[in-house]
Structure 1
Amino acid sequence: MVKLERITGLPIKFDRDNYSLVFDEDQIRVSKVRRYKIRNLRPYVLNRELKYPIDVYLTYSNIAKGQTNNLSLDITIIPPNLLGIEYVKTVPKKVPERKGKFRIVHTLYGSATLLIQDREDQDAKVYLTRLEAKNFLMIPAGYYYNFVNTRSTPLLIAEYYAKNLEHAASLKKMKGMGYYVISKNAKQEIVKNPHYKQLEKITKMKYSLFNKEFWGDNDKFPSSIVEMCSKKNKLSKIIT
């Protein structure tokens, strides 16, 4: 069992053997647990004939302890796997269009490859960054993103967002993000999605530089999610 309380502020544990969260239901409330199956991912993968793995990843939605506030928390567990030649990934999502707002993503366990895209156009700009355990990042409103697990260990991702906002899948028309992360000859490669005809070259950026570019002065950036969540009023003003 991996204790997550120190980095989330909630009495939650991660069961690495069963890829599940463990918590006392008298203390922690979860709105729902959604299992994403291969049929949910099929519109966004290179090989749309894939039948396996049947279960790809799962998300615990709207996790809360005690009194609720304007924040919602989802935790997604992404086991190590391949989707054909692609590394296992999540369905692309879009941060709702609310000027000056952000979505916070936070690696709780494992290592995440994160793709972030500025728009759903042929000439979209795509960023790639990596988040190690305890790293967190601000994704601006209007941007698209998804997580990829390229490691042989499970990946746990937390997402903090404004309460009551929908988490609709995006980019179905374009068959997913502008780039795919694949395994070729036991090596990791990044290949273009052929549905984007005028795609810019992918921009690889350290997560700290990404935060600085979109957030501003890094000296003002909280050092941990626990610190950030201790300032709930401030946090609720910037997330979406």
Structure 2
Amino acid sequence: MEFNLKNKKPDIRYLHEMISVLYDQKWAKQADLNQPLYYMYRGIKRKDDLRYDVTVIPPFLLGKEFVKTKGHYHQGNYQEVYQVLSGKAIYLFQKEKDGYLKDVIVIHARAGDIVIIPVQYGHITINPSKTKTLMMANWVSEKCQNNYKLMEKTGGGGYFYTQNGWVKNKNYKEVPEIHFKEPQENMPSNLNFLKIG
């Protein structure tokens, strides 16, 4: 899909909005809280009650942890489709209930890969590169609402991706082992399932 971001104004996620979900809190206390971490261009395209967004995540280290999105759940049963446009991404999906994680899925994706977020799974995107910007797009329902409070309450996702690999988040009562899965190669021909909430 062709688009031009030059005349689009992004929503910017700053470090001070991310403090509660970071692994390296010691680093965070000395960091520039006004540091921009990633850029969200919402509504680049719209079609049949679906919205096409683009997110740009430059390489950055949050102390020991690789830069990531804040992470959220969807209200209701809405799903979302991601596509990596350039760079590499690690997607972490998790299903939580009462402080216990029931499932954690990790998918490594590169340019062209497609990833579908399962129903009622929280999700975080990580840029695992120290040198390359991640650009990704998503299709989601216009009616879909994001819930950030669960991730904030537990201090982030079930795992942090650091320079030393995956580290479990001790704020959860229980964290299962990661299930690694592969991305899809093709965009679904019909995206109507994204409208089901």
Runs of 4+ displaced beyond 4 Å: none
1:183 maps to which residue? 163
Asked whether the 8 Å contact 1:42–1:48 carries over to 2, the reply is yes
2:193 pairs with 1:193: no
Match of 1:168 among 124, 140, 147: 147
Gaps of 5+ in 2: none
Instruction: Provide the identity percentage.
Output: 22
Structure-1-length-normalised TM-score: 0.72
1:56-75 alignment runs, 5 A limit: 56-64=37-45, 68-75=47-54
In structure 1, what is the Cα distance between the partners aligned to 2:124 and 2:21? 11
Structure-2-length-normalised TM-score: 0.86
Q: Displacement, 1:168?
A: 3.4
Q: Displacement, 1:82?
A: 0.2
**SS in structure 2 of the partner of residue 58 of structure 1:** strand
Q: Which has the higher contact order (CA 8 A, sep 6+)?
A: 2
**SS in structure 1 of the partner of residue 17 of structure 2:** helix
1:231 maps to which residue? none
Higher strand residue share: 2
Q: Displacement, 1:94?
A: 1.1
Count of equivalent residues: 189
In structure 1, what is the Cα distance between the partners aligned to 2:194 and 2:53? 17
In structure 2, what is the Cα distance between the partners aligned to 1:82 and 1:75? 21
Gaps of 5+ in 1: 1-8, 13-20, 209-221, 229-233
Q: Displacement, 1:176?
A: 0.8
Q: Displacement, 1:199?
A: 1.1
Code of the aligned partner of 2:178: I
Higher helix residue share: 1
Match of 1:114 among 64, 85, 91: 91
> Residues 163 and 123 (structure 1 numbering): CA distance in 2 closer, same or farther, change over 3 Å?
closer
1:1-240 alignment runs, 5 A limit: 9-12=1-4, 21-22=5-6, 33-49=10-26, 50=28, 51-52=31-32, 54-64=35-45, 68-98=47-77, 101-120=78-97, 121-151=99-129, 152-169=131-148, 170-184=150-164, 189-208=165-184, 223-224=186-187, 228=189, 234-239=190-195
Cα deviations by residue, 1:204-238 (Å, 9 ceiling, x for unpaired):
22224xxxxxxxxxxxxx8347xx3xxxxx41343
Task: Give 1 or 2 for the bigger CA radius of gyration.
Answer: 1
